[in-house]
Copies of this chain bind each other. A is one copy, B any other.
């Protein structure tokens, strides 16, 4: 194998990593913007998030195609094969983060004309979204720097998000029971909270992929949420 071919193979991997970094940055912005759009009832910002999703979908398809073609063309061995499989998996998780953020943005549009529930209801969601934004940023940094320790920290923190979701779920049900005029708005907030929780799950998936990438092994012990959430809580929220 000539030096030229080796370099060009590295260039392919490098280009995939750059696309993933771009996708990661987009998904972070989409989550942040969709939350601001929801809190401030800013439908213009919401529309911006909705439009951005198409580009993220295209990038994901592109990463997947390039990674598969590289696998087919180069017959990579263990390490490089893991790098390519990881790129495919992480692209898929980021793409779904974008879908979930888009869904929050659509709900921001849906509730823009609705009766306003207590502002506390939105504050809880904003807080939860900030935590998940930090998780997403940390896990993407961990991937960019192949920092398995940092990825594991993200993985262990997922329990906090689940606990917040459970408490927010109960709080929103309370507002709905207090005043039926809150029902439509709070229902949308419930779905938004669920979306944010699911984005948290995707950051955990990415952390697991980084572990696999760096160590070659699967993180197949139980998810952190099983340590911190008991079955009763699970039964309440169906998470």
Measuring CB to CB, which residues of chain A are less than 8 angstroms from any residue of chain B?
61, 68, 71-73, 75-76, 81, 85, 92, 103, 106-107, 109-110, 173, 176-177, 180, 183-184, 187-188, 190-191, 194, 218, 234-239
Contacts and interface: CB of A to CB of B under 8 A. Distances in A.
B191 A238 contact: yes
A32 to B, nearest CB: 19
Copies in the complex: 2
Nearest to A190: B187
14 contacts: A72-B75, A73-B75, A92-B92, A106-B234, A106-B238, A107-B238, A109-B235, A110-B234, A110-B238, A176-B176, A176-B183, A183-B183, A188-B238, A191-B191
A185 to B, nearest CB: 11
Nearest to A172: B187
Contacts of A188: 238
B68 A81 contact: yes
Contact of A81 (B72, B218, B239): B72
